[in-house]
Amino acid sequence: MNDSSAERRAAAIAALIGTPLVALTVLVVLRFEPLMSLDQNAVRSATRAVDDTWWAGFFSVVATVSMPRYVLLFLLAVALVFLLRRQTLTAAWITAVVIVTNPAWVSIKLLVDRPRPEVGGQVAGWSYPSGHASEIAAAAGVLIILTVQRVRRRWLRRVLLAVWVGVAVLVGVDRIFTGAHHPSDVAAGWLLGALLVFATSAVFGVVRTGRPSKVERPLSSMPERRKTLAIILNPIKIDADLFKVQVNAAVEGAGWDEPLWFETTIDDAGASMARAAVAAGADMVVAAGGDGTVRIVCSEMAGTGVPVGVIPAGTGNLLARNLTVPLGHDLALDTVLHGQDRAIDIVRIEGDALAPTHFVVMAGLGLDAAIMAGAPDALKKRIGWPAYVVAGARQLRYPPVRVDISVDGAPPVRRRARTVVIGNVGSLQAGIPLLPDALIDDGVLDVVVIAPQRLFGWVGLAIRVMTRHRRTDARLDRFTGKSVVIKAATSTPRQLDGDTVGPGTEIRAEIEPGRLLVRVPR
């Protein structure tokens, strides 16, 4: 599935969860009489059915055990387990679920201001949505995703999925039978928890939104030749010793030969290692590191016919995000060993004081390069890609520069731009559609020129980008073509795939369609 299809699928999933939640909230806010009567009658019937029976004690125990604070502590414990196993992305995602879920349902409670069911008033506080249901749905969602991704035995996976769903249903039903919530409160809580889990997992790259491709397997009964994997590792980004143990075990389990290992250095980010891997007969070369390592390895591998695997360990990880490669090391490694190859475009680029090289994601001149240079390494290591947001906020007054842009040899167009970005993909971190029409295998470049006149103009531009508005003007203009030349009036910062390459006045880029094979999920 291509990048735009994956984005549409993600939007469809979010709408499938969010639309009924919004509709239900509107009905509750309007105190829609049929819903109010249905809710109240359902609670009265439920509480009368269990009154003076042992079920009342059972539901009381469930209510206590499933209190939101206990569910939050459970999720934090799960996050800690993954952190101790050095699976920081999964740990960060679960922590994010914890951080956003509680404020979300508390805020909605205060806004909707719905009283508790009229069954004696034994429960204090507001009713809509159910905090118990929101938290347990979030916890169940986390456990469901982890189970689907990590439990290989089908029977065990099915049992665990049934357990997680059953627990969420039990806690929701409990809120009705104890008279603490209406059915609509519980339904809204389930929907809210599910929506938050999906949104955070998509942002962190924990789940893929593209459909798996069906790939026919060979019918031959002959055993497949064992293959050799070459791994180019950036030891600054990854704990080499622990990573090698993990990879060696997975490679052996998949029936591959013992992998070849190469480590990048300060002076060589992977170029000579990639050439050595090809010379050694590697069937696949894996770039394990940040965007810089991935770019250099891909540059060397273009045209060789040897596929590149990506195990992302950087701040942006834009190639992995746009190809729906999982960001967690274990899941990315599974893609390397069991995925399929996809031919993508790569872009040749050069300029003054910039020797010919390639990029695979985006190149830029101006503000975006200044942001890359202004994000401190310590901050990127601590908080990840939001460090670029911090750096961007500091650069909003970055001065415009006069640029001449020529596409496919046409007469140049002059603009006063804050930044000019040449894209081979469409989305930035968090799915921001900077170049909504860009595809990584369409054989053309997409160029965006961003030139707000005043500080407040950034707000309007942000809205236009996020809503995929097609209107172009002097403040936000777009071009497409197979080649582009950008000349700046003064020396301006430049970047390739997030790495600064020194200031200059010119960049010349040309698309090389389908010259790179990359391993992607099935």
Here the CATH number for the domain that contains residue 504 is: 2.60.200.40
For residues 236 and 112, membership in a common domain is answered with no
Q: Which run of H or of E encompasses 447?
A: strand 445-450
Report phi then psi at 351, rounded to 5: 180, -175
Over residues 127-145, mean pLDDT: 91
Over residues 12-35, mean pLDDT: 86
For residues 328 and 408, membership in a common domain is answered with no
Assess if residue 374 is contained within a domain: yes
pLDDT at 251 over 60: yes
Q: What CA dihedral angle connects 79, 85, 88 and 90, to 10 degrees? A: -50
Structural domain span for residue 87? 3-204
For residues 334 and 360, membership in a common domain is answered with no
Residues 316 and 327: beta-carbon distance below 8 Å:
no
Distance, in Å, from the CA atom of 190 to the CA atom of 39, rounded to the nearest integer, reads 16
Assess if residue 220 is contained within a domain: no
Q: Is 104 helix (H, G, I), strand (E, B) or coil?
A: helix
pLDDT at 315 over 70: yes
Distance, in Å, from the CA atom of 313 to the CA atom of 61, rounded to the nearest integer, reads 44
For residues 378 and 505, membership in a common domain is answered with yes
Which residue(s) pair with 445 in the sheet? 481
Task: Answer with the one of 285, 314, 338 that is the final residue of a domain.
Answer: 338
For residues 327 and 243, membership in a common domain is answered with yes
pLDDT at site 5: 55
Distance, in Å, from the CA atom of 439 to the CA atom of 6, rounded to the nearest integer, reads 12
pLDDT at site 7: 58
For residues 372 and 246, membership in a common domain is answered with no
Report phi then psi at 289, rounded to 5: 170, -160
For residues 248 and 314, membership in a common domain is answered with yes
- How many structural domains compose the chain? 3
The pair of structure tokens assigned to 348 is 């040749």
Q: Could you report the per-residue pLDDT of 193-240, keeping only the tens digit for each?
A: 999 988 888 777 666 544 444 434 444 444 445 688 999 999 888 888
Which residue(s) pair with 484 in the sheet? 407, 509
Q: Which residue has the higher pLDDT, 174 or 239?
A: 174
Q: Could you report the per-residue pLDDT of 284-309, keeping only the tens digit for each?
A: 999 998 888 999 999 999 989 899 99
Q: Could you report the per-residue pLDDT of 43-69, keeping only the tens digit for each?
A: 888 888 877 788 878 888 888 888 888
pLDDT at 388 over 60: yes
For residues 281 and 368, membership in a common domain is answered with no
Amino acid at 26: V
In the chain the first and final C-alpha atoms are separated, in Å, by 9
pLDDT band at 245 (very low <50, low <70, confident <90, very high): confident
Assess if residue 234 is contained within a domain: yes
Over residues 334-352, mean pLDDT: 91
Q: Which residue has the higher pLDDT, 213 or 170?
A: 170
Distance, in Å, from the CA atom of 414 to the CA atom of 411, rounded to the nearest integer, reads 10
CA 469, 201, 369: angle at the middle one, nearest 5?
55
Task: Answer with the one of 276, 309, 338 that is the final residue of a domain.
Answer: 338
Percent of the chain with pLDDT over 90: 30
Task: Answer with the one of 189, 204, 219 that is the final residue of a domain.
Answer: 204
Over residues 501-511, mean pLDDT: 92
pLDDT at 507 over 90: yes
Q: Could you report the per-residue pLDDT of 438-484, keeping only the tens digit for each?
A: 889 889 999 988 887 776 667 777 777 777 776 777 778 889 999 99
pLDDT at 158 over 80: yes
Report the helix count and the strand count for the chain, using DSSP H and E: 17, 16
- Nearest alpha carbon to residue 127 among 186, 171, 212, 168: 186
CA 287, 289, 291: angle at the middle one, nearest 5?
90
Q: Which residue has the higher pLDDT, 209 or 520?
A: 520
Kindly give the pairing relationship between strand 362-366 and strand 476-481.
unpaired
For residues 165 and 29, membership in a common domain is answered with yes
- Nearest alpha carbon to residue 486 among 414, 380, 433, 428: 414
Which residue(s) pair with 518 in the sheet? 308, 342
For residues 327 and 424, membership in a common domain is answered with no
pLDDT at 321 over 90: no
pLDDT at site 42: 87
Percent of the chain with pLDDT over 70: 87
Q: What CA dihedral angle connects 289, 295, 297 and 301, to 10 degrees? A: 150
Assess if residue 368 is contained within a domain: yes
Over residues 254-276, mean pLDDT: 90
Q: Which residue has the higher pLDDT, 265 or 87?
A: 265
Tokens 């009489």 map to which residue?
Answer: 33
**Residue 390: CB partners within 8 Å, gap ≥ 6?**
375, 379
The per-residue pLDDT of the chain, averaged, comes to: 83
Q: What is the DSSP string of 356-419?
A: EEEESSEEEEEHHHHHHHHS-HHHHHHH-THHHHHHHHHTTTPPPEEEEEEETTPPPEEEEESE
For residues 376 and 446, membership in a common domain is answered with yes
The pair of structure tokens assigned to 501 is 């390459």
**Residue 179: CB partners within 8 Å, gap ≥ 6?**
43, 46, 47, 116, 117, 119, 120, 122, 123
Here the CATH number for the domain that contains residue 305 is: 3.40.50.10330
Assess if residue 373 is contained within a domain: yes
Assess if residue 218 is contained within a domain: no
pLDDT band at 384 (very low <50, low <70, confident <90, very high): low
The pair of structure tokens assigned to 472 is 């172009």
pLDDT at site 380: 64
pLDDT at 78 over 60: yes
Over residues 244-271, mean pLDDT: 88
pLDDT band at 122 (very low <50, low <70, confident <90, very high): low
Assess if residue 210 is contained within a domain: no
Distance, in Å, from the CA atom of 264 to the CA atom of 458, rounded to the nearest integer, reads 39
pLDDT at 408 over 50: yes
- Nearest alpha carbon to residue 385 among 70, 92, 2, 20: 92
The pair of structure tokens assigned to 30 is 């309007």
For residues 65 and 172, membership in a common domain is answered with yes
Strands of the sheet with 445-450, listed across from one edge: 476-481, 445-450, 419-423, 362-366, 494-496, 499-500
Assess if residue 399 is contained within a domain: yes
Over residues 325-347, mean pLDDT: 89
pLDDT at 377 over 70: no
- Nearest alpha carbon to residue 311 among 252, 238, 386: 238
